Chain A
């Protein structure tokens, strides 16, 4: 079945440094790749997404890259700040039965050290 692998499981960076989280997916039919941020005790919220016809997307300090041939995509956070500390989830989704079926990675706990 579909599978999304996410690495690393934990990541500690100094404030101001960059953080990179990587995901690979198995279903070549996947065509939508969102990233969610979950703060402690809160619900996951979308921070950025990319569709299969785009190789890179940027939103201020956050960027996502997609390599469809290799079936992997990455989240890049530059100039990290303490408020970036959270768990980040990647997901791959495929359109099926008139909707998207989202499969999530296992999450990366990012700690930004002041």
Chain B
């Protein structure tokens, strides 16, 4: 089992460019999440998905879109990247009916110039 896999691990963008962060989990979890981590700010929830076909906004959704493609995959898209979106992005999944524990991916470091 790979757990939660994110790609890419590193990315540099110019302001205004677009990109998609991919996330896949092989634990058959229903719930998936995207967080961003900035120094001194902790982990802030961008979007989450309770199940395939549903998505909800978190604390900081502006500037992002998400797609829950199927049960395994949950992607995060930046349509027009801004320097304020420079961050480390973590995807996570959980199975509420079991423990509720969040399983995180390794993170994707994004720099917007």
Report A's interface with B, CB cutoff 8 A: 1-2, 6, 9, 32, 34, 36, 42-46, 49, 89, 91, 93, 95-107
Contact = CB atoms under 8 A, between A and B. Distances in A.
Interface in B46-83: 48-51, 54, 56, 58-59
* Residue in A91, A95, A98, A99 with the greatest tally of chain B CB atoms within 10 Å: A99
A101 B102 CA distance: 11
Nearest to B109: A41
Interface of B: 30-31, 33, 35, 40-45, 48-51, 54, 56, 58-59, 90, 94, 96, 99-102, 104-107
A43 B33 contact: no
A49 B54 CA distance: 27
A97 B54 contact: yes
A100 B45 CA distance: 12
A34 B96 CA distance: 13
A104 B105 contact: no
A45 B44 CA distance: 16
Contacts of A97: 50, 54, 56
A33 B106 CA distance: 22
A99 B30 CA distance: 8
Contact of A34 (B35, B59, B102, B106): B102
A6 B58 CA distance: 19
Nearest to B99: A49
A93 B43 CA distance: 13
B40 A100 contact: no
B54 A1 contact: no
B104 A43 contact: yes
A36 B100 CA distance: 13
